[in-house]
Amino acid sequence: MNDMTPVQTTLKDWETDQEVRWCPGCGDYAILKAVQRTLPQLNADPAKTVFVSGIGCSSRFPYYVESYGFHTIHGRAPAFVTGIKLANPELDVWMVTGDGDGMSIGGNHTMHILRRNIDVQILLFNNEIYGLTKGQYSPTSRQGTKSPSAPGGSIDRPAQPCAFALGSGARFVARGFDVSKNLPDVLKAAHAHRGAAFVEIFQNCIVYNKDVFNDFAAPKGAEDQQLWLEDGQPMLFAKGTKGLARDVENMTLKVVDVVDGDWEGAGVMVHDVKNRTLAHMLVELPFGPFPMALGVIYDDPRPAYDAVVAEEMSKARTAKAGNLGALLSKGQTWTVDGTAQDPI
């Protein structure tokens, strides 16, 4: 995010006159609303806000936000974002991508935008399927996902977006899901982070991969499987009856029961968003034996590439403004006058 003059807006100001074309009931609607609800709270200026996306159902997003928007090509949104931010670091850029867009065809660019640490909020809508192309399995689909391209069930092992992000050097990693009431808080944290903020948002594709996240994201009854992380707070879930503690012997985490709220006694760890090792463990926790780690998993900023470049550029410019005439005649030159040569 950037320092911007606060602008007063309402949710309505962020809606476009374009007809939203997602399937009725698609999780994308909820995410759109969450974003439109969050932007006024950030005092964001529509004129300085840019939504950039790749291709996919999720990547239609920019058409529905009343700001600047660039719907680019499949997988390449990070590269466009990079050019935009390098050309104008003042812009507040959000990138919207899908699990196919960002992890498959664009996996390389996702890695590099994170590694370079461009100042942008990256929202990866993970529905574990290729929605727009009608339901083929994606790089995040679970093994055995039946799809038109894998009628017998997919064989590939899925990639974990947040683990990928951390492995790529991300300095901010968070998770949320489409209908979660906490999603705006996650978005706000991402926006507050300077540098690349990676947010994986589980999203229900009700047509091709319906309710695959219900175990932790169902509208009702799945709360106990959600571990909402908060910096400086104990890692508790299931209404405080369980928590995560160190499993020192195996150098990992374990679930412990918390009796009468005595989480300290149970050895529950306090979350530290700057603990990179912990972040690695949290994103790798197998769901089932463990709850789903949600919220801000990791947040430890480093200088953003675009900010460093902007500083260098302005230094170079103020040191000496380039003189084109002098540049053209650089190096060893000689003068010809009349017809004879005049070597130096």
Ligand X SMILES: Cc1ncc(C[n+]2csc(CCOP(=O)(O)OP(=O)(O)O)c2C)c(N)n1
Query: To which H or E segment does residue 78 belong?
Result: helix 77-87
Could you tell which of ligand X, Mg ion, ligand SF4, none binds residue 187, using a CB distance below 5 to 8 A set by kind?
Answer: none
Site stretch for another protein (CB under 8 A), options 78-86, 146-154, 172-180, 215-223: 78-86
Binds 340, which of ligand SF4, ligand X, another protein, none (CB < 5 to 8 A, cut-off by type)? Answer: another protein
By CB under 8 A, is residue 66 in contact with another protein? yes
How many Å apart are CA 7 and CA 29, to the nearest integer?
Answer: 25
Query: Any contact of residue 319 with another protein (CB under 8 A)?
Result: yes
User: Using CB under 8 A, which of the segments 29-37, 72-80, 140-148, 202-210 binds another protein?
Assistant: 72-80
Is the dihedral angle over the CA atoms 176, 180, 186, 187 positive or is it negative?
A: positive
Shortest distance, position 270 Cβ to Mg ion, whole Å: 35
Q: Token pair for residue 42? A: 């950030």
Q: CA dist 27 to 69, 71, 127, 151, 332, Å?
A: 21, 20, 9, 25, 65
**Of residues 46-65, which lie at the interface with ligand X (CB under 6 A)?**
55-58
What part of residues 115-154 is at the interface with ligand SF4 (CB under 6 A)? 127, 131
- Estimate the crossing angle of helix 305-319 against helix 77-87, to 10 degrees: 30
Tell me how far apart the alpha carbons of residues 140 and 132 are, in angstroms, rounded to a whole number: 15
Contact 113, 169 (CB under 8 A): no
Options 7, 159, 206, 307; binder of ligand SF4; rule CB under 6 A: 206
CB of 210 within 8 A of CB of 127?
A: no
Residue 99 binds which entry of Mg ion, ligand SF4, another protein, none, CB below 5-8 Å type-dependent = Mg ion
C-alpha 13/C-alpha 247 separation (Å) is 49
Interacting stretch for another protein, rule CB under 8 A, among 46-54, 171-179, 215-223, 243-251?
Answer: 46-54
Q: Is 94 in the site for ligand X (CB under 6 A)?
A: no
Q: Rounded CA gap, 290 and 269, in Å?
A: 15
Euclidean distance between CA atoms 268 and 244, whole angstroms: 5
Stretch that binds ligand SF4, among 23-31, 146-154, 216-224, 321-329 (CB under 6 A): 23-31
Nearest to 290 by CA among 243, 338, 233, 231: 243
Of the two residues 98 and 295, which places its CB atom closer to Mg ion in the complex?
98
Residues 6+ apart with CB under 8 A from 29: 20, 22
First to last CA, the chain: 55
Integer Cα distance of 343 and 161 in angstroms: 64
Q: Residue 318 contacts by C-beta under 8 Å, 6 or more apart in sequence?
A: none
| Binding segment toward ligand X, per CB under 6 A, in 123-131, 191-199, 263-271, 300-308 | 123-131
Q: Cβ of residue 269: shortest distance to another protein, in angstroms?
A: 36
Q: Which of 205, 266, 283, 293 binds ligand SF4 (CB under 6 A)?
A: 205
Contact with ligand X (CB under 6 A) among 38, 67, 82, 127: 127
For ligand SF4, the closer CB: 26 or 189: 26
Q: Is 59 in the site for ligand SF4 (CB under 6 A)?
A: no
Amino acid, res. 108: N
Q: Which residues lie near another protein (CB under 8 A)?
A: 16, 18, 46-48, 50, 52, 55, 62-63, 66-73, 76, 78-84, 86-88, 90-91, 108-109, 111-112, 309, 312-313, 316-317, 319-322, 324-325, 327-344
Q: Which residues lie near ligand SF4 (CB under 6 A)?
A: 22-23, 26, 28, 57, 127, 131, 205-208
